[in-house]
């Protein structure tokens, strides 16, 4: 992947994966058994946790297929590496000082997506906290409960972000 063509997004907008896409034929399972899928997911998780929160969502999605990946999943993994290749200068940077009115410059962003997971109808949600322009805490995960509406999803994620802020 060292000489790959860089791209601007780690996954296509609106792209959905499902357990139904996992291989069921023994021949397909054998083909994918030679691919270091779990090892690559682990490497990406390491990068995600320490310096690249921008890939947190897609890595979280890809890890759900570690036990039975398909060629399509492997192609998305390669896409993530193309994205990383094109964004080598991305990272966590801290800059600036507190303004005169504020002691600490903290910003937080919260978002959720209602019933995004095709397999279990659970929502995906996340937050990010910035301190002086640099990320200090982030989370992207599938929610534990099935929400009945998009507003319920947003409230549940806002509660998680408030707990993190405290």
Tell me if residue 110 falls in helix, strand or coil: strand
Q: Which residues pair with 142 in a beta bridge?
A: 124
- In this prediction, residue 91 carries a pLDDT of 75
- In this prediction, residue 83 carries a pLDDT of 94
Q: Where are the beta strands (DSSP E) in the chain?
A: 106-113, 124-131, 134-142
pLDDT tens, position by position, 98-147: 666 666 778 888 887 776 666 667 777 888 888 877 888 888 777 777 77
pLDDT tens, position by position, 16-45: 776 666 667 777 777 777 888 889 999 999
Q: Does the pLDDT at position 155 exceed 90? A: no
- Any idea which of 40-49, 142-151, 152-161 has the lowest mean pLDDT? 142-151
Domain extent listing, the chain: 19-86, 106-165
Q: How far, CA to CA in Å, does 86 sit from each of 1, 38, 50, 81, 154?
A: 11, 23, 18, 9, 32
CB 153 within 8 A of CB 113: yes
């Amino acid at each position: 992947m060292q000489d790959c063509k860089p791209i601007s997004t780690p996954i296509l907008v609106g792209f959905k994966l499902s357990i139904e896409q996992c291989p069921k034929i023994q021949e397909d399972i054998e083909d994918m058994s030679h691919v270091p899928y779990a090892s690559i997911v682990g490497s990406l998780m390491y990068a995600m946790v320490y310096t690249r929160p921008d890939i947190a969502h897609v890595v979280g999605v890809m890890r759900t297929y570690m036990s039975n990946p398909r060629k399509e999943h492997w192609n998305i993994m390669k896409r993530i590496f193309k994205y990383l290749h094109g964004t080598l200068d991305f990272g966590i940077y801290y800059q600036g000082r507190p303004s005169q009115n504020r002691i600490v410059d903290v910003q937080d962003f919260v978002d959720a997506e209602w019933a995004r997971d095709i397999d279990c109808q659970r929502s995906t949600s996340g937050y990010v906290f910035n301190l002086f322009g640099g990320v200090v805490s982030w989370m992207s995960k599938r929610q534990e409960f099935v929400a009945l509406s998009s507003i319920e999803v947003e409230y549940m994620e806002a509660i998680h972000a408030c707990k993190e802020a405290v």
